[in-house]
Amino acid sequence: MTIREELERRERTYLSPFAVCSADTQGRDYPIAPDDLRTQFQRDRDRILHCKSFRRLKFKTQVFISPEGDHFRTRLTHTLEVAQVARTLARCLNLNEDLTEAIALGHDLGHTPFGHCGERMLDKLSVEGFAHNEQSLRVVEVLEGGEGLNLTKEVRDGILHHSGKVAPATLEGKCVARADRIAYINHDIDDALRAGVLKEFELPGEILRVLGETHGQRIDTLIRDIVCESKDRNDIVMSDRVQSAFDELRTFMFEKVYFDSWRHKEEAKCDYVIRMLFEYFMEHPSEMPLEYVQIAYRDGNERAVIDYLACMTDRYALRTFQQLFSPSAFPVI
């Protein structure tokens, strides 16, 4: 018996009947030979972890645009926090941790520079519209490595449906969707306090009495509530009391942090950068890297330009903008 086969045996023995066992995956678009050491979902996790798109997350905005402070979250640290929360949920509910982690690590691969500000701008510019979860799926299916990562259907489903109106098909995917919200609401409070955008006394007291006064307490409350309410159920849910408090906290964050007026000036600059880059490369598609020129030939200029801009980090977008639109000093002769 290989190590992989032993791992698959353990999954069948110990996982919940609602979990997805690796041996029962719906498979990949392009079948590959079994690995002696790793299950199918472990291979997906590794493929995501080693891809270029994952490394670029370290220089993409979470909430605070291109932050200079060492302790502000980026899209990469957000992804790692989501993976930690999601794996804890999966472990406590006897679900497949490897599938859960693969979805969590890949869920934001298609996110834009400048966070949701960049996403909204690309959505306005694109005739077909733009959503980061759909772009994340495109990254793993088409863009990464030139032909995609050839992931299992369960991982791709979880990546696509971690946000939006359609729920993931697996409980592991639902764990990631819950973990994403738990992570970003709580770490964005922490970052907003650090940045001085929020003050401790502004946080709604009634909500904190339900969820907890500190970052750690809130995450612990939410995880414990989900585990308690979801145990032995084919769903991932919260109690009415905790769900209501969490929804109110999310509404508070949208009003005070995500859409508050303090962001407007900087986001307008980001919008301008994205729009100018879009217009330039629509007129000069041959100046994009070769892989995007090839997409332009195959799928049209707009698709290629959107792919190119979405892949950019904050600093790469700003550097490209400066190179294209800022005058250079004359050389000394």
The domain that holds 101 is classified in CATH as: 1.10.3210.10
pLDDT band for position 67 (50/70/90)? low
pLDDT given for residue 328 in this prediction? 74
Question: pLDDT tens for residues 202-251?
Answer: 999 999 999 999 999 999 999 999 999 999 999 999 999 999 999 999 99
How many domains does one find in the chain?
1
pLDDT given for residue 70 in this prediction? 76
Residue 62 is assigned to a structural domain of this protein: yes
Residue 302 is assigned to a structural domain of this protein: no
Listing DSSP states for 15-50 in one string gives S-TTSPPGGG----SS--PPPSS--HHHHHHHHHHT
The residue-averaged pLDDT of 134-153 equals 95
Residue 248 is assigned to a structural domain of this protein: yes
Supply the pTM of this predicted model.
0.96
Q: Domain containing 55: what range?
A: 41-262
The Cβ-side half-sphere exposure at 78, using a 13 Å CA radius, reads: 30
* Residue 264: partners with Cβ closer than 8 Å, 6 or more residues away: none
pLDDT given for residue 145 in this prediction? 83
Question: pLDDT tens for residues 158-167?
Answer: 999 999 999 9
When mean pLDDT is compared across 90-99, 227-236, 249-258, the lowest value belongs to 249-258
Q: How far apart are CA 125 and CA 133, in angstroms?
A: 17
pLDDT given for residue 72 in this prediction? 86
User: How distant, in Å, are the alpha carbons of 45, 55, 158, 328 from that of 39?
Assistant: 10, 23, 18, 53
pLDDT given for residue 331 in this prediction? 64
Residue 284 is assigned to a structural domain of this protein: no
Query: Could you tell me what percent of the chain has a pLDDT over 70?
Result: 96
Name residue 61's beta-bridge partners: 74
